[in-house]
Structures are given as C-alpha cells and as structure tokens.
Structure 1
Amino acid sequence: MHRYLRQAVYEGIPFHFSLHSVTDLPSEWNDTFSYAHQRLLVLALDKTLWRQAVNEIFRVLKPGGWIELVEMDFQSYQIGVGPYSSKLQSLILKMFPEKGYLLNLAENLLSILKNGFVNIQVEMRQVRVGGGEEAMECGYKSKEMATFVRALKRDVMIGNGYGFVETEEEYEELVRGAEKEWNDHPCQGSLFVIVAQKP
C-alpha cells in the first residue's frame, strides 16, 4: 500500500509524489515509466535488496526505458586526512561488510544489471569532501559529511564500536574531530553513475 503525498502541476503537466519501497513497487506500474532515477541508497540496501530493487525498477520501466543509479564508491573514498578522520574511515570500512553494505557497489550493480538490462554505461565522477561554508560545484561540505557519518552512530553502537570506540560520546568526539580535519584539509572521493536500458 502506498501513501499519496502531493499532487502538483508543472508547466501544464500534472504530476504527483507518492511514497513506496523500491523493493516493492505497485503492481499496477508494470511497463509504465520511461526513466527511473535512484541515488545514494548504499546504506539502505544489502546485496539481496539491491537485486530486488533493480528487478522492481526493470518491471516498472517501459521497453526502451532507462534506469540511472548514482551511488558513492566507498572503496575510492580517502576521507582519512588526519588521526580522527583516518580512524573513522577504518571504522567504516570494518563496519560496512559486517552490516551487509557493499563497498564494491559499482561492481555488484553491474553484475545485477547484466541480468536483463542492455546498453549499460558507467561513469566515475570525482567529488570534493570538506571545506567550510563556501559553495562547491560538486561535493560535500565538512558538516554534510559529518552529518552522514553521525547517522551511523546507532549501527556503530550496535556493533560495540567495532574496536574503535566504546561509547556514543567517543564516537561523537571522533566525528567532531574528523569534521575539523575535513574543514582544514579537503579530500576527494568518487560517485559512480550507471545508466542502462530495458530492452
């Protein structure tokens, strides 16, 4: 069952927003859409759920329709620019596989997409991580990256800190220290963009 969110009109074209799980899209959407865009679900789906999500998007696309996936490539992110951020990066790299998150997501998605999609293309894009309030064309400010890793606190604590921290306060101190390091020494990571077509 989906929840209807909002209906609007843009340049005379009616559209509406509704909320669904990408792993269980409405059955009446079969062969409906010409284009589907999904991004930054790297921490929301494990390998099994990624397969379900891609299959669901395939189902709701019209023949000839396109999927576009934009995700972080955590294997290429080098966010360790000082002692705090290096420790935080090590913690994340240990935690992700244990939680079922895919560090090599691009490789896994290509394998999944090849079971049905054609004309698959991949592009890697460099993004900046760090810096202060100044506007950036492409990337994440220090506080945005800190917000992202701060959201992992519950999982870190469930995993007993993965040998890096013992308390929530220690984790918060680690994130604050990393944020300052990113602010003083911006670094780079990668996003990958995959497009593929339903035959």
Structure 2
Amino acid sequence: MEQTVKREYASLNYLLPADSVETERLNLQHHIVTKAFGGQLVLAPITFNSNDRVLESGAGTGIWAQEFSAFHSRNNLRLDIECIDISDKQFPHEYPSNIHFSIRSVIDLPQEWQNSFSYIHQRLLIAAMNDSRWNVAIDQLYEVLKPGAWLELVEVEAKVFDFQVGPNSKRLVSLITSLHASKGIVGDLGLYLPKLLAKKGFKDIHCEGREIPIRESVNNDGLNRSQQWYDLWMGMKTPVLTSGGFGIISSEEEFDELLEGCLKEWNESDKAYTTYYTIVARKPV
C-alpha cells in the first residue's frame, strides 16, 4: 500500500530516511543524547590543539560538528573538521569554513587520509551496520587515526529492550527484532564494539552507558523524548512494509496504530527507557 508521506532513503543498507523529517529528529536526538552525557560533546581524554584534524563519521545534519567547532572557537582554537555521510540531503546549507562536508562511507575512506586525524567521532550507525561492515569500518577508522589518537563511538542498545511497558511496545519489540535479524543488525553494541576494538588493536578502551527515560515530561526540559522515539520507529515503516511486516503487521494503518499505542504507553510509564553507550579507544603510538 502506498504510504501517505513518502520518505526518502539514502541506501538500502540504512533503515532510516534522509529527509527533512529525519533532520528534525536527528537534531532532537543530538540534544537528548548530549544532555544524557552531561552536556559533553567529547568523552575521550584528549586536549585539542589548533589545526588538529577531526573526522565526524555519519555526520547527518552536522549539528555535532558545528557545536564542537563553536565550543573550541570560543577558546581560540580552530580545528579542521571533516564531516562525512552516505548522503548530503541533511547537510547544513551554512557552516563555518573550517568544517568540510562530503559524501563518503566509513567502509571506504580515502587512502590519503591515513594517519591524519587527531580524533574521530561517530554516532549511531547501528541501523546501517552488520558484522561484516562493522569489521571493515573499524579497520578503516584505525587506519586514518594518527598514532596515539582517540576514536569515540556513540551507539544505542538494541538487543535488550527496556521500553516494553505494554502490549503495543512488546509487539513493537518483536517487530524490531525481526527487522534487525533480517538485516543482520548487531544489537548489543555495548559489548560487541569494545571486543571488536580490542581485536583490531585499539588500547585504553572504555565504555560508558546512560539510561534515558522515554516518557515525554520526565525532565521538564523541552526535549520530547517519547516523540523522538516514536519518530525513529516511524522512519522504519518503509523497510518494515517492504519486508512484508514479518507476520506482525500487515498494513500501513496497522503500523501507525501500533506506534500510536506505543507512544501512549511510554508517556504513561516511568519505567520505559533506552540505553546509549559512548565507547572511547586509543590507537597505540
């Protein structure tokens, strides 16, 4: 069945759209995740110097890079920031001259970038990655880091779900689990990535988790967490319907009703939450 609002997707390998609706969600998600980690844009123990080269992989809307650049500009540091994504549909139209945006994939970085970055930040690529792609991506990131430099990965827990607070959200988890299995999505990234980083030769690996409540009004800070979560799964409607609904839903209307029911359950519960991880690791000198 044709959907009411046609969403734009950048790749068959990535489950989420690349359009204006997703841009708004990504910016809200940025503020939610950043606040959960104490407002810090970087957790790696690094001191930056002017002209350090920084890579943001999976840059999306560029909101992290722009805030990161502005913070250091206030301290009279000008950093050279390279932002990459598989699509330019969400890149900002205006940004500082020290930030550079380009269409590139983390599994195919330029040879000339080897040993050139002082720090790499990558956030929430889970919906695009299976085990094979993660292995290639970590190899590529290792190669482009300078010896002694830091990598920081931010990801979400997608194996153990802690928002099953009613029949609709339990049904949604069954749907998500089936979708992820069909795409080979790795869900337990808080465990998987530290092990993979160690296997690839990284040192000083550290993982921090934060549980973020989903209920809309839990913090009274204007960040509508339940709406962001609703919009996230709504963005996966096309891949779900294209895959046939996995015997769980059979139409667009049924999918929409399921998510409306989930939103109600989340906003009526103080037990629904999700876990985000920040994983830092250093390339040996």
TM-score (norm 2): 0.62
Measured against aligned partners, the alpha-carbon deviations of 1:9-65 in whole angstroms (never above 9, x if no partner) come to: 944626122122111122221111111111111101111111111111111110000
State how 1:1-199 maps to structure 2 within 5 Å. Answer: 10=73, 11=76, 13=78, 15-19=98-102, 20-114=104-198, 115-132=200-217, 134-135=220-221, 141-186=225-270, 187-199=272-284
SS at match of 1:85: helix
Aligned to 1:13, the other structure's residue is in SS state coil
Query: What amino acid maps onto 1:121 in structure 2?
Result: H
SS of match in other structure, 1:69: strand
CA distance in 2, matches of 1:152, 1:28: 36
1:144 aligned partner, one-letter code:
Q
What residue identity is the alignment partner of 2:118? S
1:160 aligned partner, one-letter code: G
| TM-fit CA distance, 1:81 | 1.2
Matches of 2:109 and 2:246 in 1, distance apart? 35
In the other structure, the counterpart of 2:4 is: none
Secondary structure of 2:122's aligned partner: strand
- For structure 1, the residue ranges without an aligned partner over 5 or more in a row are none
Helix, strand or coil at the partner of 1:124: strand
In the alignment, the residues of structure 2 paired with residue 78 and residue 67 of structure 1 have an alpha-carbon distance, to the nearest angstrom, of: 28
Count of aligned pairs:
193
* Alignment-mate amino acid for residue 93 of structure 1: T
Aligned-pair identity in percent equals 35
Greater relative contact order: 1 or 2 (C-alpha under 8 angstroms, separation 6 or more)?
1
2:162 touches 2:273 (CA, 8 Å); kept in 1? yes
Q: Distance in 1 between matches of 2:170 and 2:185?
A: 20
Higher strand share: 1
- Structure 1 residues 83-110: Cα deviation after superposition (integer angstroms, max 9, x where no partner): 2111111211222122111122233222
On the 8 A contact 1:119/1:196 being kept in 2, the answer is yes
Q: Check whether the contact 2:160–2:188 (CA below 8 A) recurs between aligned residues.
A: no
Which secondary structure does the structure 1 equivalent of 2:258 belong to? helix
Query: Shift of residue 75 of structure 1?
Result: 2.4
Deviations 1:60-83 (A, max 9, x none): 110000101110012233111112
Deviating runs (4+, > 4 A) in structure 1?
none
Q: Does the 8 A contact of 2:194 with 2:206 survive in 1? A: no
Unpaired segments of 5 or more residues in structure 2? 1-61, 80-97
